[in-house]
Amino acid sequence: MKLFKGIKTDIGVDLGTANSLVYLKGEGIIFNEPTMIAVNNKTGQVLAIGNEAKRMMGRTPVHIDVVRPLVNGVISDFQMAQEILKYFIKKIKKDRLFNYIRAVVAIPTNLTEVERKSVEDAIVSSGASVAYLMEEPIAALLGANLPINEPTAHMVVDIGGGTCEIAIVSMGGVVVSKSLKIAGDKMNNDIAQYVHDDFKMAIGEPTAEKIKIEIGSAINTGKPIEIKISGRDLSSGLPKETIIKDSQARMALMPSVRQIIEAIKDTVEKTPPELAGDVLNNGLYLSGGGSLLKGFSDLIEKEIGVRTISVDDPLTCVVRGTGVAAENIENHKKFFALSVRPITIE
């Protein structure tokens, strides 16, 4: 029995725009690193992947590129995405006699058939034997330990790095969904643009992300906070230091926050009446790193009128859902993405 148990290795993968996470059956989450890769353009050599590559971002000479191979949840650089996946799978295979790997992979709901096929190809060509696709809202609700196989609706808003997935799920399938290209990365860009316009200063993405995490909020928290940041003065070209307040960061983030809330309203409006009643009773669940923005759940609850719950450890919720499926693939095949698409709100 031990021999047959060792033949197959089942994993869950959340290949995100910002971070990639891998769940190994029987062990839990074994990788959680940025979806970044540093490449030497002269030689084509891969210099760093994950955390090491992120430390290089904005600090490399011209012949070294730090690449993010996913844009808005879609693979934009197939070769680089493949290299990142190879890096993860190679580590898993290293200590195993047999290399038959089955991967459950989370994907956005709005991917075309071609984009879904590119995810499958990237996983298989990286060393996995089989790839099963699971839509992110399904994975998020599985990761939150909710009974999604019952004839009652659960609503999830998964705010990642590249996309915001809003979906109503009932009986193990997505009934209504909306996917926005407004999420964590867009919020970082909003902050960088605000600093550019109001402070006449250029900052990099790591600094913008630091502002978002440390003082960013969706509502007034009642306690003024400020942070010192540094960048390049646009007029002189010299290094510059300034202080940005939480109210300014909130102003920068508000357009993206409002668009997400409007998209949630649109999704609820398109929901069948019986399921809308279920959402009112069961609440709305927030997952993904973007949902950690201070006061976001309170603002959504106020605007939508539905109890809003942040899942435990929102950053790992989706990969935990793929991990639930990886623990028993045969019993969870009904949750894997099919060619039949749910109602999608444009």
Report the distance separating Cα 24 and Cα 4, nearest Å. Answer: 17
Sign of torsion over alpha carbons 65, 71, 73, 77: negative
Task: Provide DSSP, 232-248.
Answer: EETTT-SEEEEEEEHHH
Domains and CATH numbers, the chain: 2-35+72-140+317-339 (3.30.420.40), 146-182+257-312 (3.30.420.40), 184-252 (3.90.640.10)
Mean pLDDT of the chain: 90
Mean pLDDT of 5-26: 87
Residue 3, pLDDT > 60, answer no
**48 bridge partner residues:** 38
Mean pLDDT of 29-41: 93
Both tokens of 159, joined, read 């705010």
End-to-end C-alpha distance for the chain, whole angstroms: 50
Report the distance separating Cα 60 and Cα 205, nearest Å. Answer: 14
Mean pLDDT of 79-94: 87
CB distance 314 to 291 below 8 Å: yes
Question: For residue 13, what is the enclosing H or E element?
Answer: strand 8-15
With a CB cutoff of 8 Å and minimum separation 6, the contacts of 104 are: 10, 11, 12, 13, 132, 134, 322, 323, 325, 326, 329, 332, 336
Report the distance separating Cα 25 and Cα 23, nearest Å. Answer: 7
Report the distance separating Cα 294 and Cα 281, nearest Å. Answer: 25
Report the distance separating Cα 54 and Cα 67, nearest Å. Answer: 9
CB distance 261 to 299 below 8 Å: yes
CA proximity to 159, closest of 301, 286, 32:
286
Mean pLDDT of 79-93: 88
Range list of β-strands (E), 295-346? 308-310, 343-344
Both tokens of 211, joined, read 């502002």
Per-residue pLDDT tens for 133-169?
Answer: 999 999 999 999 998 888 899 999 999 999 999 999 9
Both tokens of 17, joined, read 């725009």
